Amino acid sequence: MQEICGISIYKSSPDSLKEVLKLSGALDDFKLLANTNPNSKILIKPNLVAWIDEINVPMFGVLTTTRLVEDLIIILKQFNLHNIWIGEGGVKLGPKSDTKIAFEKLGYYKLKQKYKIELIDFNESKPKKINIKDKNNEFTLEFAEDACNWNYFINIPVLKTHSQTKISLGIKNLKGCLKTSSKKFCHDSNLNLEHYIQFIPDIINPNLNIIDGIFALEQGPLYFGKPYKKNLIIASKDVFVADLVGAKILGYEVNEINHLSEYAERKNKSKNLNDYSILGEDIEKHSKRLEWDWLWNKENTGPEIFDKIGIKNIAIPKYDASLCSGCSPIVNMINVFILNAYKNHGLPESSKIEILCGKRMQAREGYDKTLLLGSCIINANKNNKNIKNPIKITGCPPSNQQIIKGLKEAGLKFEHSAYKDYLIKLSKRFENNIEFNYKFFQVEDN
């Protein structure tokens, strides 16, 4: 049977979602569940990748809209399906950053009260170890046990690009079902993140995938990307087909995306969209290339802006796929601190500084001081003879306070509030823009 994917324009709630679910065949599933097992446990997995509680960071294209999650709950209840759970395992970026705070700020506790549903933080779930066989090796991943116990799994990623995997759609969103240790393991220092995530659907294969394209994100996956209003909803019962369509709308062919290409070859699935039934909106009409990469200079000493404004004597090589989600915002934060130091105080001229992160970078010759950001990179460079004066910033991930202390020790002078001010500035971009309405991340009033 030919796999189906539906594409609809978001116009109103919940009718627009119901339209695309009908195209995908999901409404027939709901009807069957209601007739055969009305108490089926239905688990909804949105993308609530990370939350920063202190600042109203821009959510557009970063997080699954609360509006679409509420629409889905309404539709499920119309079919008399009431055993509904929402689960996520967000990245902890600080003391006021976790899944439960995201649940609170995005209205999920209101959803719980309003619709009598349940919430699960996968970070608190018991681990379930599962061995996975690759053609060349065997490895173990720890899943959140609660992510594995369900009758019907609904995956709701966001339509966005990603600085390491090019796109972050259905397959990538399932990484949130892993325990933290396995999330870090997937950022292996030898094999790439994309190689590992394509095995996750072998264990958790969603019954339904809804790509939230009300907003799309360029240069994602976090808050400093550029969002667009797309007003699209994509739905398929096949996670690969949903991602294939989502990738095309983001402007990418399957062979550009390693985890999709590897998955298709391993599962003997066609990479040709013409081999699937695409219903509703015309893909080509909505396809637009959104960039995934942040450009670094040729010497790999910093982003291109460093060359444009004349920053010298400090190098921060480009992050690689071994950089875990917990550490991924650190590179952006350090770049902001460097730019602030250059603008307001000037950079140290007496010494050359190199800053390393991730799990595999190696210190290069010619630097007087080397900042090692996190326990992984410290371990990777423990025998590196190029390092003259190491500044080790421990932690997994290191705290903001530790990073600031290390940068100060290296001789940088900057305002401690620079990164917070930067995030506030990002959020203010949308204050008077009617297309970017925070009501999409709030629960509808009765």
pLDDT (0 to 100) of residue 97: 57
Crossing angle for the helix pair 15-24 and 66-78, to the nearest 10 degrees: 70
Q: In tens digits, what is the pLDDT along the chain, a chain of 446 residues? A: 589 999 999 999 999 999 999 999 999 999 999 999 999 999 999 999 877 766 677 899 999 999 999 999 999 999 999 999 999 998 876 665 589 989 999 999 999 999 999 999 999 999 999 999 988 789 999 999 999 999 999 999 999 999 999 999 999 999 999 999 999 999 987 778 999 999 999 999 999 999 999 999 999 998 889 999 999 999 999 999 999 999 999 999 999 999 999 999 999 999 999 999 999 999 999 999 999 999 999 999 999 999 999 999 999 999 999 999 888 888 999 999 999 999 999 998 889 999 999 999 999 999 999 999 999 999 999 999 999 999 999 998 898 899 999 999 999 999 999 998 998 898 888 888 999 999 999 997 76
CA distance 119 to 44: 10
Q: Which of 292, 316, 345 is the last residue of a domain?
A: 292
β-bridge mates for residue 167, sequence order: 161
CA distance 98 to 49: 9
Please tell me whether residues 243 and 332 are part of one structural domain: no
**Within-domain flag for 443:** no
Over the range 300-329, which residues count as b (16 or more CB within 10 Å of their CB) and which as e?
Answer: ebbbeebeeeebeebbbbbbbbbbbbbbbb
**Within-domain flag for 18:** yes
Domain count within the chain? 2
Please tell me whether residues 133 and 239 are part of one structural domain: yes
Please tell me whether residues 310 and 224 are part of one structural domain: no
Please tell me whether residues 315 and 218 are part of one structural domain: no
**Within-domain flag for 433:** no
Q: What percent helix, strand, coil does the chain show, rounded to 5?
A: 35, 20, 40
Please tell me whether residues 268 and 326 are part of one structural domain: no
Q: Which of 292, 319, 343 is the last residue of a domain?
A: 292
307-348: per-residue pLDDT in tens? Answer: 999 999 999 999 999 999 888 888 999 999 999 999 999 998
Q: Which of 257, 292, 327 is the last residue of a domain?
A: 292
The secondary structure of 312-341 as a DSSP string is -SEE-PPP-TTS-TTTHHHHHHHHHHHHHH
**Within-domain flag for 431:** no
Report the sign of the C-alpha dihedral through residues 243, 244, 249, 253, in that order: positive
**Within-domain flag for 424:** no
| DSSP letter, residue 99 | H
β-bridge mates for residue 314, sequence order: 353
Length of the chain: 446
- The token pair that represents 434 in the structure block: 């009617």
Picking from 145, 175, 180, 182, the residue whose alpha carbon sits closest to that of residue 157 is 175
**Within-domain flag for 446:** no
Please tell me whether residues 309 and 287 are part of one structural domain: no
Please tell me whether residues 349 and 390 are part of one structural domain: yes
Please tell me whether residues 313 and 277 are part of one structural domain: no
pLDDT (0 to 100) of residue 94: 65
47-64: per-residue pLDDT in tens? Answer: 998 777 666 778 999 999
**Within-domain flag for 420:** no
Please tell me whether residues 128 and 153 are part of one structural domain: yes
**Within-domain flag for 427:** no
Picking from 321, 316, 348, the residue whose alpha carbon sits closest to that of residue 333 is 316
Question: What are the angstrom distances between the C-alpha of 81 and each of 32, 117, 146?
Answer: 11, 11, 19
pTM, entire model: 0.96
| Residue 46 belongs to domain with CATH number | 3.40.50.11440
User: β-strand 208-218 against 127-133: which pairing, if any?
Assistant: unpaired
Please tell me whether residues 101 and 215 are part of one structural domain: yes
231-240: per-residue pLDDT in tens? Answer: 999 999 999 9
Range(s) of the domain holding residue 165: 4-292
Please tell me whether residues 202 and 333 are part of one structural domain: no
Please tell me whether residues 43 and 146 are part of one structural domain: yes
